[in-house]
Amino acid sequence: MDLNQFIALVQAYTALGVGIIIGLGAIGACIGIGIMGSKFLESAARQPELVPMLQGRMFLLAGLIDAAFLIGVAIAMFFAFANPLLSKIVAH
């Protein structure tokens, strides 16, 4: 295979990998936020006087749930724009 085919191969698999990272991460994060949000609404309806405290905890949890997903997005974007696998091939 010549260089162009190598480059095309690496780019194709990188694009596939980026899509899988972001897609699977989004599924996990969205389901997590959905479950947490529904519990929050239930408990807010049960005990409205606790809402301010629960809201603070809810934002904290939202940040924690989104963490792994956003780390995945950062890594995927890194591969999308500054692909080290590609620069390794081009360097040779």
| Catalytically active residues, by annotation | 66
Rounded Cα gap, residues 14 and 25, in angstroms: 16
Per CB under 8 A, the list member of 31, 70, 85, 90 interacting with another protein is 70
Identify which of residues 50 and 74 has a Cβ nearer to another protein in the complex: 74
Per CB under 8 A, the list member of 15, 37, 59, 88 interacting with another protein is 59
Count, residues in the chain: 92
Give Cα separations from 27 to 1, 22, 23, 39, 82 (angstroms).
37, 9, 6, 19, 25
Per CB under 8 A, the list member of 27, 30, 35, 77 interacting with another protein is 77
Token couple for 12: 């194709």
CB 46 to another protein: min, Å: 22
Task: Specify the DSSP element, H or E, that contains 3.
Answer: helix 3-46
User: By the criterion CB under 8 A, which residues form the site for another protein?
Assistant: 59-60, 62-64, 66-67, 70-75, 77-78, 81-82
